[in-house]
Amino acid sequence: MRASAMTTELLQFTFSGLTVGAVYASVALGFTLIYNASHVVNLAQGEFVMLGAMSTVFLAAAGLPLPVAMILAVLISMVAGLALHRFAIAPARGADPIALIIITIGASIFLRGLAQIVFDKRFHSLPPWFGAEPIVIGGAAVLPQSLVVLAGMLVVLVGLWLFMTRTLFGRAILAASNNPMAATLVGINVPVIVAATFLISSLLGAVVGILVTPITLTSYDAGTILALKGFAAVMLGGIGNPPGAVLGGLLLGLAESFGAGLISSQYKDAIAFVILLAVLLLRPRGLLGGAALERV
């Protein structure tokens, strides 16, 4: 009896860990896409998640049907992504990485401020897609929305993977990150490719933000902590490595969930960062890192 309760509990932690981890993974993947194409660490990635979620909330409140609000919200986030590249990153072409990171921090503060004015400072939620009644799986209670988040992430991951490996455009993105000069020589417009990665990353962020809001709530400043966690996930998995980003995100989510459940929920964030520090001390290139050093 005692053992079975324990199993149920562990299963419970696993589900909630994977759900949060999927969000971190998506932010981490957004980081990775942009980083690979341009070596920019985009710390405004969390704001794309927030913009997707907050825009949906407010468009729906304005009377639009929820699906329409969601699509518009994704578009809004993508416009923000393109604008970030066009007006903040592209003009600073050739600046060193630290300057570019600081630009993205500035952009993130700007977007947060804008959201505070355009939206408001309160927490908001969205209705869950399939009700709030938990489904019991192996004794663990799982919100249907958690399954939506996981399924949504799976669809996004598979879609992104197919796009990157099965289309010539996807391979051009890989080529531009692999060797920008050679990419230019074959006629690839590298700045356009970099802009495309901002577009894809903002889409990725907005989608996951919309999916997860019924569980986690959202607010104008929800992006900050997500960017930090996503960055931690990237470092955990190995910077510049898409599978590493996903693995790092999921592991971070699980670590938080188990830490909160087994030790104390007060230390939830601390546990994640302690694990990150440990990995960085023992494996500075991250779990799946290896190619990282050649990009320095």
Partner 1 sequence: MLEIDRVCCAYGRVEVLHSVCLTVEQGEIVTLLGANGAGKTTLLRAISGICPLTGGEIRFEGERLDLVPPHRRVERGIAQVPEGRQIFTALSVEDNLRLGAWRRSDGAAIARDLARVFALFPVLAERRASVAGGLSGGQQQMLAIGRALMGSPRLLLLDEPSMGLAPLLIDQVMATIVELKRSGLTILLVEQNVSAALSIADRGYVLETGSIEIAGRASDLLTDPEVASSYLGM
Rank residues 156 and 172 by Cβ distance to partner 1 and give the closer one. Answer: 172
- Our CA angle for 127, 215, 240, nearest 5°, is 125
Q: Which stretch binds partner 1 (CB under 8 A): 54-62, 71-79, 129-137, 183-191?
A: 183-191
Q: Which stretch binds partner 1 (CB under 8 A): 123-131, 149-157, 179-187, 219-227?
A: 179-187
Q: Is 293 a residue that touches partner 1 (CB under 8 A)? A: no
- Pick from 53, 157, 190, 215 the residue near partner 1 by CB under 8 A: 190
Which residues ranging from 234 to 253 are in contact with partner 1 (CB under 8 A)? none
Rank residues 205 and 240 by Cβ distance to partner 1 and give the closer one. Answer: 240
Rank residues 121 and 295 by Cβ distance to partner 1 and give the closer one. Answer: 295
Q: Is 179 a residue that touches partner 1 (CB under 8 A)? A: yes
Q: Is 184 a residue that touches partner 1 (CB under 8 A)? A: yes
Least separation in angstroms between residue 190's CB and partner 1 is: 7
Q: Is 292 a residue that touches partner 1 (CB under 8 A)? A: no
Least separation in angstroms between residue 179's CB and partner 1 is: 6
What is the distance between the alpha carbons of residues 37 and 200, in angstroms, rounded to a whole number?
Answer: 12
What is the distance between the alpha carbons of residues 44 and 30, in angstroms, rounded to a whole number?
Answer: 10
Least separation in angstroms between residue 237's CB and partner 1 is: 17
Quote the tokens at residue 107.
């952009």
What is the distance between the alpha carbons of residues 55 and 48, in angstroms, rounded to a whole number?
Answer: 10
Which residues, at least 6 apart from 245, have a Cβ–Cβ distance to it below 8 Å? 25, 28, 29, 31, 32, 233, 234, 237
Please tell me whether residue 120 adopts helix, strand or coil conformation.
Answer: coil
Q: Is 188 a residue that touches partner 1 (CB under 8 A)? A: yes
Q: Is 181 a residue that touches partner 1 (CB under 8 A)? A: yes
Count other Cβ atoms within 10 Å, centred on residue 68.
12
Which residues ranging from 158 to 177 are in contact with partner 1 (CB under 8 A)? 168, 171-172, 174-175
Could you identify the residue written with the tokens 């470092």? Answer: 235
Q: Is 59 a residue that touches partner 1 (CB under 8 A)? A: no
What is the distance between the alpha carbons of residues 169 and 160, in angstroms, rounded to a whole number?
Answer: 12
Q: Is 7 a residue that touches partner 1 (CB under 8 A)? A: no
Alpha helices in the chain (DSSP H): 2-38, 45-61, 66-83, 97-118, 144-166, 168-178, 180-185, 190-216, 222-237, 242-262, 268-282
- Pick from 178, 270, 283, 295 the residue near partner 1 by CB under 8 A: 178
Q: Is 40 a residue that touches partner 1 (CB under 8 A)? A: no
Least separation in angstroms between residue 165's CB and partner 1 is: 9
How many residues appear in the chain?
296
Rank residues 115 and 188 by Cβ distance to partner 1 and give the closer one. Answer: 188
Please tell me whether residue 110 adopts helix, strand or coil conformation.
Answer: helix
Quote the tokens at residue 32.
């990775």
Binding residues vs partner 1 (CB under 8 A): 168, 171-172, 174-175, 178-179, 181-190
